[in-house]
Amino acid sequence: MAQADMLARNDTGIGAVCGILKQRFGERLQTGAALCAQHGHTTTWITNEPPDAVVFAHTTQEVVEIVKTCAAHRVPIIPFGTGTSLEGHVNAPQGGISIDVSQMDQVIEVNAGDLDCRVQPGVTRMALNTHLRDQGLFFPIDPGADASIGGMTATRASGTNAVRYGTMKDNVLSVEAVMANGEVIRTATRARKSSAGYDLTRLMVGSEGTLGVITEITLRLQGIPEAISAASCSFPTVEAACEAVMAVIQYGLPVARIELLDAMVVKAVNGYSKLDLPETPLLLLEFHGSEAGVAEQAETFGMLSAEFGGTGYAATTTLEDRNRLWQARHDAYWAMLALRPGCKAVATDVCVPISRLAEAVGAANRKAAELDLIAPIVGHAGDGNFHASVLLDLDDRGEVARAEQFVSWLAEMAIALDGTCTGEHGIGQGKKPYLLKELGGAVPVMAAIKQALDPDGIMNPGKII
């Protein structure tokens, strides 16, 4: 079907759909420009493409009704959690209905004995952890933003703890989703492992709303460790810091977090969070385990880091110091923005085999300098995943062009190193050309699956495929 034809049909359909949904959902169907714009993409430099309307769903059955109504009129559906995605996932390039699930925010059950829980998609990771704390449990996936569990599932999110606890793919046991035809599926039971048919759980994790609307998630949980300690260690060069990370991973040290900040980020963080870290490349670490285990890990790290010129290695076990350090890490994004008031950050998230990390980070630093760009680097170094964020004056066309060149170069460099253009943000709108470069012949297979499960292309069109 031609694009023009599709748009024509949307134009006819959207009025009818809005009428039906207004009657059914009353004030929970909104068409105001401000709210619609807020539900289009706002986080990064990607152009805002608002939906025609936003409907706030409260139950799976309501999502079914909305999907069936949209399907009958071939109107696009864009699932929306907190809007913190970085790749235009919530944009509505063909218009349509944004299904906002943020009010589906109940923790349905916690099975402490099984270390799992069932949640609605609008529960945020911080709300979940607050809910769990009394029971000595936590959910480890931490992408920085207080994202919704539904959105984190849809984008296969990860973050600082992934080096030890994995990504969403490893921590979602089962998904309930409303498919394009309005059917509700549950992809798995609460069993810890299963060989029962195709792994639809992992198919939905990372599907970016293009296959169905996620309405419930069953998550693996972890016991809060007996002991936690944090540490920081400075390095003469970013390459030396990366080499220390490589040694840690190859040694098998079970660090819970190992984060890289380059010198520019450390400077930014010092300013923003009122810290006095040495302004050279830095690793921030966290160790989880028994008291003895944590002490042993910290000692081993000290030994390994010294081989790569690590200095100022200091461990802390007080909750206050630890929180201060990690708050600074999580505020790094804002701290970087403050380096250049009025700028926008272009987020990138390549991920390479750990043995290529030093090489990749070094090359990214040099390439940014060559293109006269400011691109501080932070990284979930233990996974080989790093963010070079280009700080950009969007009014400077030359700079924008150079930033685009950098982003493209970075993705291709990662792919050339047998890595990926996206470790955790997803493909969304911006990375489709790189997906093809990265996986080639596998992309038509994805397209065939999309076509089979959403033949009219109504589920979050314009993303991934």
d(CA 460, CA 451): 13
Residue type, 361: V
With respect to its own copies, which residue has the nearer C-beta, 11 or 109? 109
282, 266 in Cβ contact below 8 A?
yes
- Distance of closest approach, residue 343 Cβ to its own copies, in angstroms: 25
- Distance of closest approach, residue 23 Cβ to its own copies, in angstroms: 28
Q: Burial code of 286-298, b = ≥16 C-beta within 10 A, e = fewer?
A: bbbbeeeebbebb
| Joined tokens for residue 149 | 């569990």
Beta bridge partners of 212: 179
SS (H, E, C) 341-359: CCCEEECCECECCHHHHHH
d(CA 401, CA 275): 35
- Distance of closest approach, residue 203 Cβ to its own copies, in angstroms: 6
450, 210 in Cβ contact below 8 A?
yes
The strands making up 29-30's β-sheet, listed across from edge to edge, are 29-30, 53-56, 97-100, 77-80
d(CA 257, CA 287): 7
With respect to its own copies, which residue has the nearer C-beta, 344 or 425? 425
| Joined tokens for residue 79 | 């699932």
Residue type, 271: G
- Distance of closest approach, residue 92 Cβ to its own copies, in angstroms: 21
HSE of 387, CA atoms in CB hemisphere, 13 A: 24
d(CA 439, CA 458): 24
- Distance of closest approach, residue 291 Cβ to its own copies, in angstroms: 10
With respect to its own copies, which residue has the nearer C-beta, 161 or 280? 161
d(CA 329, CA 43): 19
d(CA 52, CA 62): 19
With respect to its own copies, which residue has the nearer C-beta, 30 or 194? 194
With respect to its own copies, which residue has the nearer C-beta, 126 or 185? 185
Q: Taking the mean position of all CA atoms in its chain, how far away is CA 365?
A: 23
- Distance of closest approach, residue 345 Cβ to its own copies, in angstroms: 18
Is the alpha carbon torsion for 422, 425, 431, 436 positive or negative? positive
- Distance of closest approach, residue 352 Cβ to its own copies, in angstroms: 6
Closest CA relative to residue 209, chosen from 155, 142, 159, 146:
155
With respect to its own copies, which residue has the nearer C-beta, 197 or 342? 197
- Distance of closest approach, residue 465 Cβ to its own copies, in angstroms: 8
With respect to its own copies, which residue has the nearer C-beta, 40 or 212? 212
- Distance of closest approach, residue 457 Cβ to its own copies, in angstroms: 14
- Distance of closest approach, residue 162 Cβ to its own copies, in angstroms: 6
The strands making up 385-388's β-sheet, listed across from edge to edge, are 311-316, 227-234, 282-289, 257-261, 377-380, 385-388
